[in-house]
Amino acid sequence: MSASAPAAATAPALRLTPVPRIGARGLLRTLRRNPSFILGLMMITALIGFCLIGRLFTTYNDAFPLSAPPSMPPGADWIFGTDADGRNLFAVIVYGSLLTLKIGVIAGCLGLGIGTTLAFFSAYRGGWFDVVLRVAVDVLITIPTLLVLVVIASVLHRSMTTTLMGIIIALLAWREPTRQIRSQVLVMREAQYVKLAVLNGASSARIIFLEMMPNLLPFLGANLVVAISQAVLASIGLEALGLGSPSEPTLGLTIYWMMNESAFLLGMWWWIIEPIAVLIVLFVGLFLLTAGLDEIANPRLRRAEA
């Protein structure tokens, strides 16, 4: 402690150095060396674009029973075919993909937001709150996520909506981000630029938002994409069990209808392939986005300059 007194006396002569910002040329160079991110972004953008454009050619009511002749294979009139209950599968894919992605975005953003807030407060401040939070996360992370979600969704099934499902999934989606971000903040707290900011008398808010957060953004981006992927997978699992919202034609509920109506036995291959193909595109795109963001966030994974 005695050695810090002379340093504090000379501290006013120092200035906080802002985090360097990447320019347009540097961004293009980074993207050229990151094909995973580009391909993943293209796949997700193409899927969203397809759904948005598809809404011009169909209506939301076409995704519900008796809106079309049942059990029609793909053809000129029904390009994606219809299911056994008379749902237009083109409308189901168009609206269901966005609803499924909506659940993932709500749960992922809420879970990551809660986890980031708790992690920064816990790691930066320390003390009893850090001890309590660390023990709470270690205990809660051992609880099976799907089991808890099934119990909650069963109780709220009658009033279930995609928004409510996203919030329910977010109740348990903050545990992993809290643990991972806390470990990153503990490392960053000991960095020289953070210690320099403390010597200059910077406030905690300034250190967190101007010094630590910019360096953590790629890591947070990768965690957000992972959280969205996990939330989408959890929602599909719940809906495949019949615990989704019956008033909103998500992809998970489409899989539930497919299994409940014995599409395999009826030989209705289009009813099986189409939602699964969309889910493959969605998950592969999110995985590639995660790999690309992880490459940006982790210096050890960055490729050498060409």
**Complete DSSP assignment for 98-127:** HHHHHHHHHHHHHHHHHHHHHHHHHHHH-H
Measure the CA–CA gap between 96 and 88, rounded to whole angstroms: 12
Please report whether residue 285 resides in a domain.
yes
177 domain-assigned: yes
Residue 191 region, left (φ>0) first, then alpha (ψ -120 to 50), else beta? beta
Pairwise CA distance, residues 50 & 90, whole Å: 11
Residue type, position 35, single letter:
P
21 within a domain of the structure (yes/no): no
- Inside any domain, residue 199: yes
Q: What is the CATH number of the domain that holds 159?
A: 1.10.3720.10
State pLDDT tens for residues 134-149: 999 988 888 888 888 8
**272 vs 89: CA distance, rounded Å:** 11
> Range of 276's domain?
47-65+94-301
Instruction: Answer yes or no: is 142 within a domain.
Output: yes
pTM of the model: 0.83
Closest CA to 177 of 137, 237, 146: 137
Max Cα distance, the chain (Å): 84
Bridge partners (DSSP) listed for residue 88 = 82
pLDDT tens, residue order, the chain (306 aa): 444 444 343 434 334 334 444 444 555 566 667 888 889 999 999 999 999 999 999 999 999 998 899 999 999 889 999 999 999 999 999 999 999 999 999 999 999 999 999 998 888 777 888 899 999 998 888 888 888 888 888 888 778 899 999 999 998 899 999 998 998 888 888 888 888 888 888 777 888 888 888 888 888 888 999 999 999 999 999 998 888 888 899 999 999 999 998 898 888 999 999 999 999 999 999 999 988 888 777 656 555 444
- Exposure class string for 241-266: b at 16+ Cβ within 10 A, else e: bbbbbeebbbbbbbbbbbeebebeee
Please give the full DSSP string across 132-187, using - where no structure is assigned: HHHHHHHHHTTS-HHHHHHHHHHHTGGG--HHHHHHHHHHHHTHHHHHHHHHHHHH
Total number of domains constituting the chain: 1
Residue count of the chain, please give it: 306
Is 259 part of a structural domain of the chain? yes
pLDDT tens digits, one per residue of 222-253: 899 999 999 999 999 999 888 888 889 999 99
In a domain, 260, yes or no: yes
- Is residue 25 included in any domain, yes or no? no
